[in-house]
Amino acid sequence: MKQFEIPEFYRSPIISKVKAFRKAQDPRKKDFTPTVLDFGNLKLVIARHFGFCYGVENAIEIAYRAIAENEGKRIFLLSQMIHNPGVNEDLTNHGITFIQDTEGKQLIDWNEITAEDVVIIPAFGTTLEIEAILKEKGVNVEQYNTTCPFVEKVWNRSEKLAQDQHTLVIHGKYNHEETRATFSHTAAHTQAVIVKDLAEAKLLGECITGKRSSEEFYQLFNGKYTAGFDPEVHFSRLGVINQTTMLATETQEIAEYLKALTEAHALENKLDKRFADTRDTLCYATNDNQSATLGLMEAKPDLAIVVGGYNSSNTTHLVELLEQTCPTYFIKDATEISDSGTINSFNIHSKSMETVSDFIPQSERPLRIAITSGASCPDATVDQVIQRVLKLTQPEKDLESVLRSIQ
């Protein structure tokens, strides 16, 4: 796989050694069991896969190249490069300005952008409508386009399905930048509707089978379907694609549910309804990270720490998985853990921060702490979390000797 040039401060002395060890041991990435760093009274259970993926490293390399190549020019990002606060803060510190926030709210008026400006397209991609605005202004949209190739793969899949007149069901979060981009690219070729989860897919199923009227469809999915969508016409052929960072098992559930529903309905009513057997369109990193998280769960940790941006979809899904097994704390970086043993954790359900005192149990020894991060989190940030945990737990063995033991 291509090696990217990213700033050295994103690299890590701890995680880099763990990943190098596992790569040598399992070059084909078939083993999803975690790596255990044994400190005696503490065992750190490190996920097999986590951290920067291909698409993120590609985006970061391009963004910093844009900075280096355009001294004296105004440089803009359409929105956050990736969903990691540390990365985005460093980019803004280098003079980059965001045009929109993550939900598409305008921060810089389009009238302020000129052909002389540099505009970076983030890893999530962007809509055709925004591309058209930039092209009309004379901005080169290809020069610093960091759209993840796995996102583009989904767009290509949707275009191919459109050639066979399939309507696309997009499994994604409606306000997520990637889903907005995928919806736009899909709408250029065929009809589409967005569902955020299996519950919404079941509501859609009731619209497909006629249990709900067209008027109810328009109300239930207001703002989530393409212009000109006619439930009486556009449910005859269906396919499922997704936001690449969604929970893999849920995408599969949605596809299987809609396939079984449409085929049974067609058979019962002698209708010509077809469902495209599309393969999962999740990216490899999302699949690997989720599989590695299942490996963490099987290791039965006493608690888990997930590191990443609070608006990161792929990171949130790792939290969803781990909290089924043990107390799970979602933090953006090591600053959320105090020297007194208090942790500030983001609650993905209430969308709020929660402060937990003495989150590290004193009775459990050896204590097993699972650690992973999202695909947009630098390994250096995970290193800092590990260092903070070691300071709080006072392990029996020192870090250097433990790292030597895995080599």
Determine contact, residues 63/144, Cβ cutoff 8 Å. yes
pLDDT at 363: 75
Structure tokens at 365: 């020894």
Number of domains comprising the chain: 3
Q: What's the CA gap between 191 and 114, in Å, rounded?
A: 33
Instruction: Residue 39: give its domain's CATH number.
Output: 3.40.1010.20
* Residue 171 and residue 123 share a domain: no
Are 85 and 186 part of one and the same domain?
Answer: no
Q: Is 9 exposed, middle or buried (0-12, 13-18, 19+ CB in 10 A)?
A: exposed
Catalytic residues: 178
* 234, 260: one domain: yes
> Does residue 76 share a domain with residue 117?
yes
> Does 213 fall in a domain?
yes
Q: Are 364 and 313 within one domain?
A: yes
Does residue 243 sit in the same domain as residue 325? no
**Is residue 61 a contact partner of residue 49, using CB atoms and an 8 Å limit?**
no
On whether both 122 and 165 belong to a single domain, the answer is no
What residue type is assigned to position 26 of the chain?
D
Bridge partners of 225, per DSSP, are 193
399 has pLDDT over 80:
yes
CATH of the domain at 176: 3.40.1010
Q: Which amino acid is at 336?
A: E
pLDDT single digits (tens) 198-234: 999 999 999 999 999 999 999 999 999 999 999 999 9
| CB burial readout 103-129, b (16+ within 10 A) else e | eeeeeeeeeebeeebbbbbbbbbbbee
pLDDT of residue 358: 92
| pLDDT recorded at residue 282 | 67
Q: How far is 179 from 195, CA to CA, in rounded Å?
A: 10
Q: Are residues 23 and 76 in the same domain?
A: no
Please report whether residue 380 resides in a domain: yes
| Nearest CA among 281, 325, 347 for reference residue 149 | 281
> Are both 44 and 64 inside the same structural domain?
no
- Whether residues 48 and 65 share a domain: the answer is no
Task: Tell me what the mean pLDDT of segment 375-392 comes to.
Answer: 95
Given 236, 253, 275, the domain boundary residue is 275
From 275, 298, 329, the end of a domain falls on 275
| 3-class state of residue 48 by DSSP | coil
Which residue type, as a one-letter code, is found at position 138? G
Residue 3 in any domain: the answer is no
CB-count exposure of residue 372 (10 Å: 0-12, 13-18, 19+): buried
16 in any annotated domain:
yes
Examine the domain organization and report whether 183 and 269 are in the same domain.
Answer: yes
Task: For residue 22, tell me if it sits in a domain.
Answer: yes
Q: Any idea which of 81-85, 94-98, 280-284, 368-372 has the lowest mean pLDDT?
A: 280-284
Q: Which tens digit of pLDDT belongs to each residue from 51-107? A: 988 889 999 999 999 999 999 999 999 998 888 888 999 999 999 999 999 889 999
From the list 350, 331, 352, the residue with the least C-alpha distance to 342 is 331
d(CA 338, CA 329): 14
> Is 131 within the bounds of a domain?
yes
Q: Give the SS3 label for residue 101.
A: coil
149 found inside a domain: no
To which H or E segment does residue 347 belong? strand 343-347
Residue 315 lies in a domain: yes
Which of 247, 275, 303 is the C-terminal boundary of a domain?
275
Residue 315 CA to residue 50 CA, distance in Å, equals 10
- CATH number, domain at 132? 3.40.50.11270
Mean pLDDT of the chain: 92
User: Does one domain contain both 289 and 198?
Assistant: no
Closest among 306, 283, 290 to 370, alpha carbons compared: 306
pLDDT tier at 264 (50, 70, 90 boundaries)? confident
For residue 228, what are the domain limits?
Answer: 159-275
| Cα–Cα distance, 180 to 126 (Å, whole number) | 7
pTM: 0.89
| 216 SS3 class | helix
